[in-house]
Amino acid sequence: MATPQTSAQVPVTVLTGYLGAGKTTLLNRILSEQHGKKYAVIVNEFGELGVDNDLVVNADEEVFEMNNGCICCTVRGDLIRIIEGLMKRKDKFDGILVETTGLADPGPVAQTFFTDEEVKARTRLDAIVTVVDAKHFLGQLEQGDEAEEQVAFADVILLNKTDLVSPEELKKVEDRIRSINPYARLHRTEKSKVELDAILDKGAFDLNRILEFEPDFLEHGHDHDHEDEVTSLSITADRPVDPDKFQKWMGAVLQIKGPDIFRSKGILAIDGAPRRYVYQGVHMMMDADWGQPWKEGEPRTSKLVFIGRNLDGDNLERGFQDCLK
Amino acid sequence: MKLDLADPTWQIDLPRHRSVAGDAPVAGCAFSRDGTVAAFALGDGAVRFLPADLSAAVPAGAAPVHKGAVLALAADPAGTGFVSGGDDGRLLRLALDGSVSEVANQKGKWIEHIATHRATGTVAASAGKMALVAKDGEVREFGPHQSTVADLDFSKDGGRLACAHYGGVTVWSIGQVTLPPRRFAWAGSHVAMKWSPDGKFIATGTQENDIHVWRVAQAADMRMQGYPAKVRSLSWSADARWLYTSAQPVFTAWSFAGKGPEGKPPLQFGQEGAGLITVVAAHPTAEFVLGGYDTGEVQLGDIKSRRSIVIRIADGSPITGLAWAPDGFRLALGNERGDLVVIDLRR
């Protein structure tokens, strides 16, 4: 299929976070700072932003299910429409920011950028940024799945309102965040104050930059308080991967566990291939491609990462081992 | 004079045309009711007029009438000019002398689609989840629908208005008699819709690269699959026998004569383009059809002879607007780069 000829794809940053975490403050900061760049902002509550900017677009989070029988394949149709509409403007922008409501699951937003060919031709998902309220996060975890899932999806986390908690409390919150998602870049902030290059143009979904997203911290033993809690898991292997077996196994994993797997990524040393095979996905949707070549003498280590709910580490580990030569 | 695609001169020469740089992406184009002026909706908020007569002088560039982009444009069914909708939430009436009057203003919403009904002089426009219906200086609202209205179209007599949205199509009675709305259901997101000129069928293009068609009388439906991309452009032939669809490299027409298209493949004809058709426009009276491609190519097809000729060479900029003049000899087209083109097919 011929995709329309377009100039460079516009990066899209998804901004998520629980009610009152500081998303609006962050957006106001981005819109009012003198950075010489132009951002279109897609918000849910028109008028909440103090900045009068004609590049602020109001959206209703209109989610629909794809007719493909996959229960977690939900997509934001309003985003498809708005992005196409924005592309009709003469004035182009350096980026698009999509704010989700405090109780939204970031899945449908991210999946929109995996499914719609026209959106893919014009934009690229850059990163999911989650703002966390240091004072209320632990309490929000008790109120439902949203706060936890927003952290699970994140590429970048702003641990905000750090001035409202003691150092001990802050440590506790940070540890909890790390137990859910040790891979996201974490920035401690007050009043959402952060350098814009810490959150924009991160290339978190760029298959060529997957290597940059290594955990900030060494993984420590996760304390499993609840059965259904969200955790991360990484598996490594030094023997080459059989591509057919891997595809079959991964397909089955996503088919069964897709709704529970928020993010997954991996670098594979395929048997006999000179280049890395890299992939990343959201729920059941996945992008994959050949990445950088292996250097001479470099250890060809494959690495898989999952962030999800009820991850059965032993089972996944065993399944992956069966895909090795 | 006749359009004869078998005439060998057609195969050699491109038709007479005029191309003007519009400086902003074209969202759509239309001819005025009397056919004298072609108008182009632009991404800088302007609506640019070009004379249909290729020898007439081109007026200077137009000032923006919308703040942001113009998203929808149609001939004014109750006047000589046009109606336009923009992402500034305004629905405007544009006279040929350049004067502008506001029909509706829905700040915070986009006016993305406009449908018109000539005999009754009615204008319908989408505004978020609502449909606006403007007639004789009065604006009525219909909705809210389940999601943002993705397209709208009138019934043959103008007494009903169909609105596409998530989950299907809702048909409102907008005339004197008020009946409850009718729902035509099909799950998913519908991205384009056209009501057949005989009133019997409503067709939509879906997010899943299908088309869906309902028989209005029985509410029976059918689904046609096999497109490599979303069908964003649908056009019924004037006699309602054919439904032309975009998203194929050749002209693709479903037959609605006799028993309808069930169980039959579509008729595909013409020269295969390098890309896919982005806009189709059936001739206002005869058996011809225009197809604009994502490569910038435009072809004129004749379903009777199953031939097509290239009337504009591919230049890399996708065609985004294509419209016939009422005379059936002239046409207007626009592309993503902002070329505004009027073509006269007469030799």
- pLDDT for A3 equals 40
Residues of A in contact with B276 (CB under 8 A): 1-2
User: Cα B102–B103–B108 angle (5° rounding)?
Assistant: 80
Distance CA A151, CA A174 (A): 11
Indicate the domain borders of chain A. 10-205, 232-321
pLDDT band at A48 (very low <50, low <70, confident <90, very high): low
pLDDT band at A214 (very low <50, low <70, confident <90, very high): low
Are A310 and A316 contacting, i.e. CB atoms less than 8 angstroms apart?
no
Residue B9 has pLDDT above 90, yes or no: no
- Mutation target to probe the A interface, by most A beta carbons within 10 A, among B23, B106, B130, B189 is B189
Supply φ then ψ for residue A17, to 5 degrees. 150, 155
More confident residue, A308 or B60: A308
Each residue's pLDDT tens digit, A114-165: 989 999 999 999 999 999 999 999 999 999 899 999 999 999 999 999 999 9
Enter the pTM of the model. 0.91
ipTM attached to this prediction: 0.89
- pLDDT for A52 equals 58
Residue A212 has pLDDT above 90, yes or no: no
Each residue's pLDDT tens digit, A104-128: 889 999 999 998 999 999 999 999 9
Each residue's pLDDT tens digit, B285-332: 999 999 999 999 999 999 999 999 999 999 999 999 999 999 999 999
Beta-bridged to residue B90, according to DSSP, are: B105
Each residue's pLDDT tens digit, A230-267: 999 999 999 999 999 999 999 999 988 999 999 999 99
Indicate the domain borders of chain B. 136-221
In sequence order, what DSSP letters do the residues of A277-291 get, joined into one string? EEEEEETTEEEEEEE
- pLDDT for A227 equals 59
pLDDT band at A90 (very low <50, low <70, confident <90, very high): confident
- Mutation target to probe the B interface, by most B beta carbons within 10 A, among A43, A89, A114, A117 is A89
Q: Is A68 on the interface with B (CB under 8 A)?
A: yes
- pLDDT for A72 equals 72
pLDDT band at B165 (very low <50, low <70, confident <90, very high): very high
- pLDDT for A59 equals 84
User: Cα A167–A173–A178 angle (5° rounding)?
Assistant: 120
Tell me whether residues A5 and B129 touch, CB distance under 8 A.
no
A1 to chain B nearest CA, in Å?
7
Distance CA B186, CA B206 (A): 10
pLDDT band at B255 (very low <50, low <70, confident <90, very high): very high
Q: Is A247 on the interface with B (CB under 8 A)?
A: no
**Position of tokens 């896919």?**
B276
Q: In chain A, positions 168-187, which contact chain B (CB-CB < 8 Å)?
A: none
Mean pLDDT of chain A: 87
- pLDDT for A6 equals 42
Residue A17 has pLDDT above 70, yes or no: yes
- pLDDT for A5 equals 38
Q: In chain A, positions 211-230, which contact chain B (CB-CB < 8 Å)?
A: none
Supply φ then ψ for residue A298, to 5 degrees. -75, 135
pLDDT band at B10 (very low <50, low <70, confident <90, very high): low
Residues of A in contact with B143 (CB under 8 A): none
Residue B4 has pLDDT above 60, yes or no: yes
pLDDT band at A221 (very low <50, low <70, confident <90, very high): very low
Q: What share of chain A is helix, strand, coil (3-state, %, to 5)?
A: 30, 30, 40
Distance CA A153, CA B85 (A): 37
- Share above pLDDT 70 across residues of chain B, in percent, rounded to a whole number: 98
Residues of A in contact with B69 (CB under 8 A): 85, 88-90
Q: Is B163 on the interface with A (CB under 8 A)?
A: no
A57 to chain B nearest CA, in Å?
7
* Cis peptide bond prior to B144, omega within 30° of 0: yes
The two counts, helices (H) then strands (E), for chain A are 9, 14
- pLDDT for A1 equals 37
- Mutation target to probe the B interface, by most B beta carbons within 10 A, among A90, A114, A117, A118 is A90
Residue B85 has pLDDT above 90, yes or no: yes
* Amino acid found at A8: A
- H helices present in A127-279, as ranges: 137-143, 146-153, 167-180, 243-257
- pLDDT for B12 equals 66
Superfamily of domain A10-205 in the CATH hierarchy: P-loop containing nucleotide triphosphate hydrolases (3.40.50.300)
Q: In chain B, positions 63-102, which contact chain A (CB-CB < 8 Å)?
A: 67-69, 71, 87-88
Tell me whether residues B207 and A91 touch, CB distance under 8 A.
no
Each residue's pLDDT tens digit, A172-205: 999 999 999 999 999 999 999 999 999 998 988 8
In sequence order, what DSSP letters do the residues of B28-51 get, joined into one string? EEEE-TTSSEEEEEETTSBEEEEE
Each residue's pLDDT tens digit, A266-283: 999 999 999 999 999 999
User: Cα A47–A51–A52 angle (5° rounding)?
Assistant: 80
pLDDT band at A34 (very low <50, low <70, confident <90, very high): confident
**Closest Cα to residue A129, out of A265, A41, A12?**
A12
Domain A232-321 CATH assignment equals 3.30.1220.10: yes
- pLDDT for A60 equals 83
Contacts of B5 (CB under 8 A, 6+ apart): B300, B302, B305, B307, B308, B309
Distance CA B85, CA B66 (A): 8
Residue B213 has pLDDT above 80, yes or no: yes
Residue A51 has pLDDT above 90, yes or no: no
Q: Is B109 on the interface with A (CB under 8 A)?
A: yes
Q: Is B317 on the interface with A (CB under 8 A)?
A: yes
In sequence order, what DSSP letters do the residues of A52-104 get, joined into one string? --TTEEE----EEE-TTS-TT-EEEHHHHHHHHHHTTSSS--SEEEEEPPTT-
Each residue's pLDDT tens digit, A296-313: 988 999 999 999 999 999
Distance CA B22, CA B28 (A): 12
